[in-house]
Structure 1
Amino acid sequence: MAIFTYTPEDVEKKPSSAVSTKKSPQTTHTPEELEAFFNSTQKEKTDRKQARVDAHKLATLAARDGKLQEAHLEESIGEDGKRAIGYQIMKNKGLTARRKKENRNARVKKRKKYDAAKKKLKSVRAVYTGQQGPYSGELTGISKKVSRSVKLN
């Protein structure tokens, strides 16, 4: 927390309120300028879309004629005359196999693995799932022949 001390000269120079009454200068644009700016951005947007449509048409024609590789090489040459690197070289993935979506997220993969392990465990032995509803007695009955008590000496 900063503490400011004022001398009598400072009090005389400054207005009574500490807040400045000066407004920041705002630039106002004329409606013609705003309309020109809006039109230029709209034109850029339509030009980009048209360029994509034209490139798609050229690619489909080249694929139909079997010259897709040549068309791709022509457009990928940079200003210095060298061919630009492609996506595969840039990402350096090599011959990686396609992975399932759940294997790409480690947390989801472990959760699915845990669920599968719980299902396997249910087939091996009885798993307590908690009491379902009110107690309804011994469902299988009590056998007189079986004794499961532990003898204490």
Structure 2
Amino acid sequence: MATHVYKPAEKVPKKTGSRKAITHSPEELEAFFNSALQEKSEKKQARKEAHKDALIAARDGKLLELQNEESIGENGKRAIGYQIMKNKGLTAKRKKENRNARVKKRKKYDVAKKKLKSIRAVYTGQQGPYQGELTGISKKISRSVKLS
């Protein structure tokens, strides 16, 4: 078995240098923008028409027939639904905060802080201006340390 020993002289040179940004002419950008607007308006119009058809079908009591027509694909077979397509199975419903790890940890930290408050006293900062010694000063107690 032959082993290859790495030698510093065999380093691959790094590719350095600046790359030029891809620029488009104003005409190309305007054409792209117009096509995106056109596509969006067509989708919106199609949704409005579908909604209008659904309202008419619901009024006439033929909504089920309309839904059956829409669900049939080009080859005459029914299209698959969201649940089948996503293959979720019997997964349990999860909390919304579990989607974002940062939020989940922040909530967990808040819960831990609340638990800590029940275990021991936690400093919450000064509440208003200084009001003096609230418990009073006793003449009998001396808490000083004698140095000699």
| TM score, norm. by length of structure 1 | 0.50
CA distance in structure 1 between the aligned counterparts of 2:92 and 2:60, rounded to whole angstroms: 31
Other-structure match for 2:113: 118
CA distance in structure 2 between the aligned counterparts of 1:129 and 1:47, rounded to whole angstroms: 58
CA distance in structure 2 between the aligned counterparts of 1:78 and 1:145, rounded to whole angstroms: 94
Task: Tell me how many residue pairs correspond in the alignment.
Answer: 114
Other-structure match for 2:103: 108
> Superposition RMSD on alpha carbons, in Å?
4.2
Distance 1:126 1:142, change over 3 A: farther
Q: CA deviation at 1:76?
A: 2.5
Q: Which runs of 4+ in 1 moved over 6 A?
A: 130-137, 142-146
After superposition, give the CA deviation of every residue in 1:47-90 in whole Å (9 maximum; x if it has no partner). 43322211111123334455433322212322222221121211
Other-structure match for 1:62: 57
Structure 1: gaps (5+ residues): 2-26, 30-36, 147-153
Give identity over the alignment, percent. 77
Task: Answer with 1 or 2: which has the greater Rg.
Answer: 1
CA distance in structure 1 between the aligned counterparts of 2:42 and 2:89, rounded to whole angstroms: 36
Distance 1:52 1:98, change over 3 A: same
Q: CA deviation at 1:135?
A: 8.6
Q: CA deviation at 1:105?
A: 1.9
In terms of mean alpha carbon deviation, does 101-110 or 43-52 score higher?
43-52
What SS does the corresponding residue of 1:113 show, helix, strand or coil? helix
Structure 2: gaps (5+ residues): 1-12, 14-24, 142-148
Distance 1:54 1:110, change over 3 A: same
